[in-house]
Structure 1
């Protein structure tokens, strides 16, 4: 948590004409155009960028990764930050050049890009997604699958009752419906309260667990053995994960992974079993830029997992550029197919 936060401060002060005038995404280690913006007459969605202003994509990626606060060699979180703020981060990396020139696959000559006159970010959550909130529950009736979406664990103090009520009602409906397969979607979840993370765990655990290790910072309550809820789900659980899963989400996933409470599907999480937090906030006098410094280390009992990587999925599934542009939920579709296959088996 020691950082300037996400890239929103730097993004906010950047004049639009200085932005990199194309939206693009890293998929694994390759860079693809997802929206040519004002350069749509000379570029196409899906074009692969090989270099920008004479620097290779691999060199650019390595250079930017060095400046993004993350756990060790975790690649999940830095990739999400670059992809989310691509038009701004590229401008900062190159020192705000007056022109951008790119080389793309199967083109003999570099492409000189036109500047932007205006720019607006696209929503991170698909507008066509049934779930537009942080907490959603649905039963896919035709497939007899329940889906729980948890985009935040940030339910502190009195707000914890909102989370508790949601979980209680959802698992009560699962039980009364006789559902045997559950998908828990924690993608885009940056963390929050350990009480919320632990409470959800109680409802998918099939045996007792201890949340925090004895030597960890954190409440003594989380250092005692916790038994599964009497309403805990007894079927198969699948959890969708991505690089946005930081802080408490990393704790939650580390315990799921360590105890084999569920099958993890998607991409490397943005955190693991150990997280530095209880942060103190500061603001620079002249610029007004704020930053945080973590003061304590919180770590779960899943301390045998790799410290320098995010929690890794059991099934690595990532979107290709076509699925991203078409807003096809690759990981969810894969999970549903896996569930149906297991039913047939």
Structure 2
């Protein structure tokens, strides 16, 4: 933060004698992402660094922080007193970078979740910050579909050549909002996924499962959940249980009548996950898309999702949660996309230091210059 004990723009070298490279890599395991991706881990670690640091290293009353001020080559050290979590998160809320990165951490209200604007006659920007917009039966979802229809009708009427699609802060949401959005950008028939499987069709370790129902009563209710799994994933192959072609996830979808056929510039970032990454992967697979930004949290070829499950570990009491469905996404193979990684941009663009100081959007400015260059 500006005006605090350590100057703005400082590079931290070590904390209590531990090099920052060692500290950060040690904390990676506390924040999970798809595959071996690490850019997404920075999202969680940045915001809750103090919590993960204490979890790993234990309680410490003072911190000797060694750092190099911006523009200097000399290491300085300062001892700081520990503060409580309430003070820490107050400091986080007042961080200097908040005007630029707030979208990575906030909960989006409906009116903030999607916007559309023209930058000029040839360039429009569609921003979708969240797909948490209800399911097919909700009015929120219907409002979103009407919004999309009006946007792409206007784009077609005005014969707009360039569309920037900004999903950098999109952590996911509910089906089918991701799929109906892609239908307005697609140039092919598509489906939600090519295949989906789970590794069990009966709940294992039932007595350790996260539930408010006492463990001795759980066998009475678990049958319904098991039947749901067996109905959704009826085909066994190689110790896995797969969906069949009758699943709605495999239903063939077609592009919308007013689907955009011009140049698409997709902005992505480390926050993109779940339904956000499924959408971004599909758009990245388009031949008319240029993808700009940073590697996403969610994978290009697939991810785990849909059905959350949790356990309470018996000795430590730790609660752990994960999604049990492994999904292979309906995307084409691309030379620059790596299995077990997030979506990799065609142009990797990070915020430069001076842009950070001035709260400038480096990635958006890069795209605008790219469009100007391609005219």
Which segments of 5 or more consecutive residues in structure 2 lack a partner in the other structure?
198-241
Which segments of 5 or more consecutive residues in structure 1 lack a partner in the other structure?
1-34
Distance 1:283 1:163, change over 3 A: farther
The residue aligned with 1:24 is none
The Cα shift of 1:332 comes to 0.4
Q: For the residues of structure 1 that align with 2:143 and 2:266, how far apart are their CA atoms?
A: 22
Q: Which of 112, 126, 131 pairs up with 1:153?
A: 131
The residue aligned with 1:333 is 365
Following superposition of structure 1 onto structure 2, how do residues 8-47 of structure 1 map, counting pairs within 5 Å?
A: 35=1, 38-39=4-5, 43-47=6-10
Instruction: Show CA shifts across 1:49-89 (max 9, x none).
Output: 11111111211111011221112210121011122223443
Instruction: Identify, as 1 or 2, the structure richer in helix.
Output: 2
Q: For the residues of structure 1 that align with 2:170 and 2:123, how far apart are their CA atoms?
A: 22
Q: For the residues of structure 1 that align with 2:354 and 2:324, how far apart are their CA atoms?
A: 43
Distance 1:326 1:280, change over 3 A: same
The residue aligned with 2:302 is 274
* 2:322 is aligned with 1:293: yes
RMSD, matched Cα: 2.9
The Cα shift of 1:113 comes to 2.3
Following superposition of structure 1 onto structure 2, how do residues 188-337 of structure 1 map, counting pairs within 5 Å?
A: 188-215=169-196, 220-272=247-299, 273-277=301-305, 278-280=307-309, 291-302=320-331, 304=333, 305-337=337-369
Distance 1:155 1:283, change over 3 A: farther
Q: For the residues of structure 1 that align with 2:319 and 2:153, how far apart are their CA atoms?
A: 43
1:38/1:116 contact within 8 Å kept: no
1:46/1:322 contact within 8 Å kept: no
State the number of aligned residues.
302
The Cα shift of 1:298 comes to 2.4
1:267/1:313 contact within 8 Å kept: yes
Distance 1:59 1:81, change over 3 A: same
Q: TM-score, normalised by structure 1?
A: 0.78
Distance 1:327 1:133, change over 3 A: same
Q: TM-score, normalised by structure 2?
A: 0.72
Which entry has the higher C-alpha Rg, 1 or 2?
A: 2
Distance 1:96 1:151, change over 3 A: same
